[in-house]
Amino acid sequence: MDDPSRLSVDNLESPSEGPENRREPGRRAGERKARTFWTTSRKEALAAWLFILPDFIGLLIFVAVPMVLALSLGFFSVDGFGGYKFIGLANYNRMFHDPLFLKSIGVTIVYVICLVPGLYVTGLGLAILVRQKIPLIGVWRSLFFMPYVVSLVVVALIWKVMLIDKVGFINRMLELVGLQGKSWLGDPQFALGAVLVVTIWFLMGYYMIIFLSGLQEIPREYYEAARIDGAKPWAMFTKITLPLLRPTSFFVLLVSTVAAVSGSQAFDLIYVMTNGGPANSTSLAVFYIYEQAFKFNNYGYAAAMASSLVIILLAITVVLFALTRGGRFHLG
């Protein structure tokens, strides 16, 4: 018979019952739990967030925080030398009683109403044109897009020289064909129209590229089937092209509207070509805000106007999304 004392010692020294092996089931359970938590989908989500994080931090620091500060600045009177005085809604009350600001809003509305359809028509027209099989099509596409890669200041200076009274290139050409030249930038009746023409000429190549990408997504089989059925070009355009371009059209309308209100061309071209004149006929809202902030040191008042402009743009965006359901245009 075995010695009981020996059996007890053997049992104590048995590897299956040692302290390290008694912890083994818990360690394995922890590993299984970790493997269960870090699934493939969670790893992909973590990788996505790590890629997004730098842009998110940049937007937070350089966009979100300045927007909040600008919104709060509208409730203060700022002298530009470090002096802040809380005045509540006084800046907003002044805004609604400022005839120059109200006029700039009216000019901006006219500018948007003329610019957005103009960019839509010219961009879509050029996209349809350069999609045709014509010689040197790549050269034509580059020529139409080239103005967009030129500096806005250079564009404004060139057009300003071309539109100078009497000696400008445009008036010289008109005189050669027997027409009388105009003071394109010096007459309130023509100044805004001249700026609009230059703006459309500058931006149409960009929107041509956007429409061209949308047109290339439409299968050519649709046009071939319609042609076999005897459809005319206008019928194919209205029944095939326009309906299938609805998402692209929505994007163009939204982006061009925002650009018309607060885009760089809404300030740079105005600043160089007309400086808001003559008689404030080209003073857009964004240009008037600049004047109040950096010419007259009314930073609080300018912040209030800028905040209101951002709210208006957000409202327009929400309305466009609501009416078109994100570009699908199906209201039913």
3 state SS of 81: coil
Residue 1 has pLDDT above 70, yes or no: no
Task: State what percent of residues in the chain have pLDDT above 90.
Answer: 31
CA dihedral 16, 35, 54, 60 (to 10 degrees): -100
Cβ neighbours of residue 268 closer than 8 Å, sequence gap 6 or more: 152, 153, 156
Residue 226 to residues 124, 221, 236, 246, Cα–Cα distance (Å): 21, 8, 7, 19
Q: CA 121 to CA 124: how far, in whole Å?
A: 5
Six-digit token string for 140: 């034509």
For the question of whether the overall pTM of this predicted structure is more than 0.85, the answer is no
Six-digit token string for 78: 């700022």
Task: Give residue-wise pLDDT tens across range 263-322.
Answer: 888 888 999 999 988 889 999 999 999 999 888 888 899 999 998 888 888 888 888 888
Look-up: residue for tokens 């973590």?
46
Q: CA 283 to CA 278: how far, in whole Å?
A: 9
Segment 101-130 mean pLDDT: 93
Segment 182-205 mean pLDDT: 92
Task: Give residue-wise pLDDT tens across range 8-53.
Answer: 444 444 444 555 555 555 566 555 665 666 778 888 888 889 999 9
> Which residue, among 249, 225, 247, 251, has the nearest Cα to 236 in the 3D structure?
225
Please give the pLDDT value at position 113. 93
Q: CA 4 to CA 319: how far, in whole Å?
A: 89
Residue 85 main-chain phi, psi, to 5 deg: -140, 120
Residue 252 to residues 204, 212, 245, Cα–Cα distance (Å): 11, 12, 10
Q: CA 236 to CA 313: how far, in whole Å?
A: 35
Cα of first residue to Cα of last residue in the chain, in angstroms, is 92
Q: CA 67 to CA 92: how far, in whole Å?
A: 17
Task: Give residue-wise pLDDT tens across range 218-258.
Answer: 888 888 898 888 889 898 988 888 888 888 988 898 899 98
Q: CA 231 to CA 223: how far, in whole Å?
A: 9
Strand 76-78 relative to strand 84-86, pairing: antiparallel
Residue 3 region, left (φ>0) first, then alpha (ψ -120 to 50), else beta? beta
Residue 115 has pLDDT above 90, yes or no: yes
Six-digit token string for 17: 């019952």
H or E stretch covering 78: strand 76-78
Task: State what percent of residues in the chain have pLDDT above 70.
Answer: 86
What average pLDDT does the chain have? Answer: 84
Look-up: residue for tokens 């018979």?
1
Please give the pLDDT value at position 200. 94
Please give the pLDDT value at position 23. 55
